[in-house]
Amino acid sequence: MELHILPPDVASRIAAGEVVERPSSVVKELVENSLDAGASKIDIECRRGGIDLICVADNGSGIPASQVELAFQRYATSKIDSIDDLVNVRSLGFRGEALPSIAAVADVEVSTRAAGEELGNYVYLHGGTVAQSEGRPRAIGTTIAVRRLFRHFPARLKFLKSEGTENGHSALVVSQYALAFPLVSFSLLLEDRLALRSPGSGDARDVVAQLYGSELARAMVPVELSADSLVITGLVAPASLSRAGRGHQSTFVNHRWVRSPLLQRAIDDAYRGLLPEGRHAIAVLDIQLPADRVDVNVHPSKAQVKFADEQLLFRHVRDAVSAALGKTRIASEAQHLATPGTAARQTAWSVSEQEPLGSSFGTFSMAPSAGSTSLPPLRILGQILTTYIVAEGPDGMYVIDQHAAHERVVYDRLLKQHGAHSPEIQGLLEPLTIELSPAEDAALSGLMDELATLGFALEPFGARTHLLRSIPASLADSDVAATLRGILQDMSQGGQGESFERLAESIACHASVRAGQQLTPEEMRQLVRQLEECAQPRTCPHGRPTIVHFSVPQLEKLFGRRT
């Protein structure tokens, strides 16, 4: 083929692909536009995961009738004029790409009225071109309805996950903007259910209460620092209220939601030594800095930014969070003890009746050893670094990673349960009340069936609150609320497919003992015994080793007894 320039319709479809990756990208762009238009109220709705409908209605400044069609042209923006403006962007949008990109992959209806205009305007775009345009009454503001997203893009449709997962992404976007703009009142309807309503009170703590529950909101402490033309504000939770993923860390730069490894590291640094391995802080931070100290034009969906003074920013963020934590360390510890839901997880494996009573510490654990992958009988010597179990076998020394080994055990049991007609269930004496964030709740709706087949009995109990009445027997000794939350976070982040294996991996990871947890000799013996019963005891479900073997010849070589 000869070198040539692509026709505009092909070029715009390619560009659309970058902006509109999935339904939540549309939600993000439309919400950003509403915020740029100065709205104080934004109502969002998604149907069938956003494929049938995404509708965003605001009470912002509206689009003048003469400009509605222009807004759907590429590079049409009212927000910047020149290169100089680009280095001083204060608005969330500035590229003039979102509306044309959305119209290239969906049907769009706009209904808008600008201040000072008598009548509103209605425009319908089909296949990227205007199919209908007429005057229609509307209050000042804008409503944009996006229908049949990706209908003519089967490759994109195939790439999308379940409706629940897609709704989870959209809920996350709305949640983040609600946190960044506490003065704006947001509502989000997912499949006709109210997933979120933020009061618009101006207090981020009220939004946190809506998203993560009032208990957490009350426990969070304010962050405040201003220095070197930086203003850092926000809320952080005491270390006792950590989470398994980073899903509860929100970072904003001039109210723009960004993912920033630099800011994550600064938060981690402030919590250093306070959190066990694999746990993450809960934080909401907004960094205000002069617009020319940050480049917002470095990422296709503007989700990342580049800072002029990284070192300075890192230090100030870390210090601001540290200072906030320092003030409340003592209070938070007291809270930790008083809140049963956040108490340290139990680690005990119960002794089952087959098992000989009394500690078998110092004896060989008896396991059938068949085939090359199975384990030989091991005598447990102890735990090192509160992470590894050291054992002796007939042919040398074994070091077992307690987390990886436990993951394998739980994973295998879950897979076994999955095939079983009636899973082994552990009923809870007191049902556990679990409050979920909108994103977690949306993810849960897509997982209900799978979770039920495993033995999780969940009942709706008010908006985004569920009663957990039973759990899979294999998770009896874990902190189930934390496990469930961890699973929902993993699954709401999408990733490689939505197979049952992925769910089981996620459950196994969150329900397993962590590095850093002290184990009793009995617990270690139980764990190794359970590992011996697994068909693939030598790797965890992710394929990492559970056990490392130093053979007798290897040891002899290391000590120069043999060459």
Contacting positions for Mg ion (CB under 5 A): 33, 93, 98
Nearer to ligand ADP, 68 or 380 (CB): 68
Binding residue (CB under 6 A) for ligand ADP from 87, 94, 361, 470: 94
Contact between 393 and 380 under an 8 Å Cβ cutoff? The reply is: no
Residue 250 binds which one of ligand ADP, Mg ion, none, with CB within 5 to 8 A depending on kind?
Answer: none
Kindly state whether residue 103 participates in binding ligand ADP, applying the rule CB under 6 A.
no
Kindly state whether residue 96 participates in binding ligand ADP, applying the rule CB under 6 A.
yes
Helix (H, G, I), strand (E, B) or coil at 206: helix
Nearer to ligand ADP, 49 or 100 (CB): 100
Kindly state whether residue 37 participates in binding ligand ADP, applying the rule CB under 6 A.
yes
Residue 233 φ/ψ, nearest 5 degrees? -130, 160
Least Å from the CB of residue 174 to ligand ADP: 15
Question: How far is 505 from 407, CA to CA, in rounded Å?
Answer: 8
Nearer to ligand ADP, 93 or 494 (CB): 93
Contact between 72 and 29 under an 8 Å Cβ cutoff? The reply is: no
| Encoded tokens for 200 | 């618009």
Nearer to ligand ADP, 60 or 213 (CB): 60
Binding residue (CB under 6 A) for ligand ADP from 23, 60, 377, 423: 60
Least Å from the CB of residue 331 to Mg ion: 42
Using alpha carbons, select from 524, 526, 528 the residue that is nearest to residue 538. 528
Kindly state whether residue 79 participates in binding ligand ADP, applying the rule CB under 6 A.
yes
Least Å from the CB of residue 289 to ligand ADP: 21
Binding residue (CB under 6 A) for ligand ADP from 49, 93, 486, 541: 93
Residues belonging to the chain: 563
Number of residue whose CB is nearest Mg ion? 93
Contact between 511 and 502 under an 8 Å Cβ cutoff? The reply is: no
Residue 37 binds which one of ligand ADP, Mg ion, none, with CB within 5 to 8 A depending on kind?
Answer: ligand ADP
Residue 77 binds which one of ligand ADP, Mg ion, none, with CB within 5 to 8 A depending on kind?
Answer: ligand ADP
Least Å from the CB of residue 66 to ligand ADP: 12
Least Å from the CB of residue 256 to Mg ion: 12
Using alpha carbons, select from 524, 479, 514 the residue that is nearest to residue 345. 479
Using alpha carbons, select from 309, 226, 237 the residue that is nearest to residue 270. 237
Residue 76 binds which one of Mg ion, ligand ADP, none, with CB within 5 to 8 A depending on kind?
Answer: ligand ADP
Least Å from the CB of residue 76 to ligand ADP: 6
The burial class, CB within 10 Å (0-12 / 13-18 / 19+), for 69 is middle
Question: How far, in whole angstroms, is CA 29 from its chain's centroid?
Answer: 20
Least Å from the CB of residue 251 to ligand ADP: 22
Return the residues of window 139-198 that contact ligand ADP according to CB under 6 A. 142
Nearer to Mg ion, 63 or 320 (CB): 63
Residue 328 φ/ψ, nearest 5 degrees? -120, 10
Question: How far is 534 from 343, CA to CA, in rounded Å?
Answer: 30
- Distances 494 to 78, 106, 108, 468, 503 between C-alpha atoms, Å: 35, 23, 27, 24, 11
Question: How far is 524 from 530, CA to CA, in rounded Å?
Answer: 10
Number of residue whose CB is nearest ligand ADP? 93
Helix (H, G, I), strand (E, B) or coil at 291: helix
**SS3 labels along 469-497:** EEEEHHHCCCCHHHHHHHHHHHHHCCCCC
Q: Say which residues have a Cβ less than 8 Å from residue 60's Cβ, sequence separation at least 6.
A: 34, 35, 36, 37, 38, 39, 141, 142
Residue 475 binds which one of ligand ADP, Mg ion, none, with CB within 5 to 8 A depending on kind?
Answer: none
Binding residue (CB under 6 A) for ligand ADP from 12, 22, 49, 58: 58
The burial class, CB within 10 Å (0-12 / 13-18 / 19+), for 205 is middle
| Encoded tokens for 142 | 């804008």
Kindly state whether residue 111 participates in binding ligand ADP, applying the rule CB under 6 A.
no
Kindly state whether residue 530 participates in binding ligand ADP, applying the rule CB under 6 A.
no
Q: Which residues pair with 314 in a beta bridge?
A: none
Kindly state whether residue 29 participates in binding ligand ADP, applying the rule CB under 6 A.
yes
Nearer to ligand ADP, 183 or 344 (CB): 183
Residue 79 binds which one of Mg ion, ligand ADP, none, with CB within 5 to 8 A depending on kind?
Answer: ligand ADP
Least Å from the CB of residue 25 to ligand ADP: 12
Kindly state whether residue 85 participates in binding ligand ADP, applying the rule CB under 6 A.
no
**Burial 154-170, CB ≥16 within 10 A → b, else e:** eebeeebbbbbbbbbbb
| Encoded tokens for 503 | 């769910």
Residues that bind ligand ADP in the complex, under the rule CB under 6 A: 29, 33-34, 37, 58, 60-63, 71, 76-79, 93-99, 142
